[in-house]
Amino acid sequence: MTQTPQLATLYGPVTDDMVLVEDLLESTKKVDLAPLRRMLDHALHARGKRLRPALVLLSGSFGEYDLNRLVPLGAAIELLHTASLVHDDVVDGADSRRGRPTANSVFDNALTVLLGDYMFANAAEMVTRTGSLAVTRLFALALMKMTSGELDQDAAAFDVGKDIQNYLWRIGGKTAALMANATEGGALLGGCDEGMVEALRTYGYSIGMAFQMVDDILDFTGDEAEMGKPVGSDLREGTITLPGLLLLERYPRDNPIKRFILAKRGREERLQEAIEMVRATEVLEVSMEMARGYIRRANEAIAHLPETEAKASLARIGEHVLNRRS
């Protein structure tokens, strides 16, 4: 994979090695069963920024930089992330993601569920190539946390009774757990000492929390063409994220989110009212300040680490998470 200049700057010393992760992911498409091959090609076609594998390699570089162990973990985590999106799209009934048709819209739901299952199993096999029982266990725990977060989100759909603490727990599993798995796992494979492993785990978790918060802000403010989905998609599906929760908390009377949730007719009009009020009040800036707080926590966690190119890249990733537009 050829990295863009932006990603080369972002990932710094591990940029050239990211091609090894991409090659390993590409190899998963080489299966004898033609229908499965077509489905894997579709699911893995959109490459994205590969942030999670980059975090694995950057974290591993603080110790013994063994690509024979780090690359399989990076590819496994990316494959797990992609498989979870495949299943999410089935659950949500989504027709597109990032402007491309979802697997479930091209194939049927039953086949797409099996595709996700295959990818989960493939990811699990990959992570065993690290030769580390501790890292394999971390990977399994991350998958459990992700599933719990997603179950909680789906169970809480159209529920205005959830609070911000519940939201933080949910995204801690749904998004941050896998980022933490990337940095902690990379550090463990590098043979880093206990303090460094914990610092990198805290960094990854904090980056993941901020990443999801910015994602939830962009759902109200982003450009539809860049995001590949309509503004307000989460709320339309009943998922009340941080800006919406803050709006409910700060403006409990005659709240447009409540009106949208309770409406039996005119739902699109109520949705637009909710989006406009979120944009017109302070809740977006409060949400962004919470995201900044997690980035500060991430930077504080790694402050004592050696001043290397990898550390500079980790700091740039924090800035990128806050400033991204999609």
Instruction: Residue 55: give its domain's CATH number.
Output: 1.10.600.10
pTM of the shown model: 0.94
Structural domain for 22, as ranges: 5-323
- pLDDT recorded at residue 1: 45
According to the 3-state scheme, what is the secondary structure of the chain?
Answer: CCCCHHHHHHHHHHCCCHHHHHHHHHHCCCCCCHHHHHHHHHHCCCCCCCHHHHHHHHHHCCCCCCHHHHHHHHHHHHHHHHHHHHHHHHHHCCCEECCEECHHHHCCHHHHHHHHHHHHHHHHHHHHCCCCHHHHHHHHHHHHHHHHHHHHHHHCCCCCCCCHHHHHHHHHHHHHHHHHHHHHHHHHHCCCCHHHHHHHHHHHHHHHHHHHHHHHHHHHHCCHHHHCCCCCHHHHCCCCCHHHHHHHHHCCCCCHHHHHHHCCCCHHHHHHHHHHHHHHCCHHHHHHHHHHHHHHHHHHHCCCCCCCHHHHHHHHHHHHHHHCCC
User: pLDDT value at position 3?
Assistant: 56
Q: What is the pLDDT of residue 224?
A: 81
Domain count, the chain: 1
Low-confidence residues in the chain, pLDDT < 50: 1
